[in-house]
Amino acid sequence: MAMTDPKRELLRHTVATVAYRGAKAVRGAPASFAGFTGAGKTPVEILAHVGDLFDWALRMAKGSHEWRDSTPLNWDEESARLFAALAAFDEYLASSEPIHAPMEKLFHGPIADALTHVGQIAMMRRLAGSPMRGENYYVAGVEAGRVGPDQAAAVREF
């Protein structure tokens, strides 16, 4: 039986958590939401930044610390880009390739920042008049490797 690295597995679970919460935050948002103003950056700018964070996390895992700001695409393209970036990072974490950055720094840098920004998008949905339902995330069907837009159905929303 192959030995797994518990830190790598925890990072993979955390990436799946971003995917679960991110999918919920972007799903069903009206087209007008992408350009909502009234809370600083627009939601599509924040979503582009989250994609940039996971592109950066992957580059760091591979040994480069180069940051790149992307120009935001439209909402649907940015959503797809986010899940593609999550999948690429998760695939690397799941591989036997070496991680060239401390796991803790990958967590408290790009991953924790992404969780903050997904929360911003969720809050902005309410401010923009398109709230999403709250959920008991403790019982959510989050699992390492599930990092696309198709997530488990909510178990306990409120």
The string of DSSP codes covering 119-130 is: HHHHHHHHHTT-
The pLDDT value recorded for residue 3 is: 55
pTM of the model: 0.95
In the prediction, which pLDDT does 26 show?
97
Predicted confidence pLDDT, tens digits, the chain (158 residues): 355 899 999 999 999 999 999 999 999 999 899 999 977 899 999 999 999 999 999 999 999 999 999 999 999 999 999 999 999 999 999 999 999 999 999 999 999 999 999 999 999 999 999 999 999 999 999 999 999 999 999 999 99
Q: Which residue has the tokens 């994609």?
A: 51
Q: Helix, strand, coil shares of the chain as percentages rounded to 5? A: 60, 0, 40
The domains found in the chain, sorted by start residue, are: 6-139 (1.20.120.450)
Model pLDDT, residue 154: 96
